[in-house]
Amino acid sequence: MNTATPPLGKPRPLLSVILLSAVSGLLYYGYYKWVIQDELRSYTGSGWSGAVSLLPFVLGVAVPQALRLDPDVPSWFPWLSLLGIVWIYIVQFKLYRTVNALYRQEGLKEPLSVWWLFVPGLNLIVGFRQIHFLSQFWALKRGIPAEDPVTERIPLLSANG
């Protein structure tokens, strides 16, 4: 029987993710998405890696748009980018369910309304909440305080009651 403690992820406060994503032109956000998927997979022993989560999205969006410049490619081909967008929604849905499961396993209330993902405006809110509550979870597991000046002032982002 394996009783080894699974590796813990790193708490990443929402403010840090937003600022680093803004100054890097969203490159940090791509890195963030990749690394949290890998951390969750290592911790839970299941789920998709960062590569499986992001590469279909990046390739699905970028390749059809890049080939749009080729006159031999049919005019409908760029519409295949929608498949990349559908893929990232599937990944997000799975991610939100995973974060909720982590909280449930700890005997805590599930923090994310998964279906908000499909409502314009609320999808951004639930995305911010996912960043916040995953950071909170890792801080809880590490036994360290999880300070985030943005979410501490905005109950819509931090309330779980």
pLDDT mean values, one per 10 residues, the chain (161 residues): 81 96 96 98 97 94 90 90 94 97 97 93 92 97 91 89 69
CA distance 114 to 147: 24
Residue 2 pLDDT? 58
Helix or strand run (H / E) with residue 124: helix 122-142
Q: What pLDDT, on the 0 to 100 scale, is given for residue 3?
A: 65
CA 132 to chain CA centroid, Å, is: 11
Q: Specify the pLDDT at position 121.
A: 86
Rounded CA-CA distance 136/10 in Å is 10
User: Contact 157/150 with Cβ under 8 angstroms?
Assistant: yes
What is the identity of the amino acid at 41?
A: R
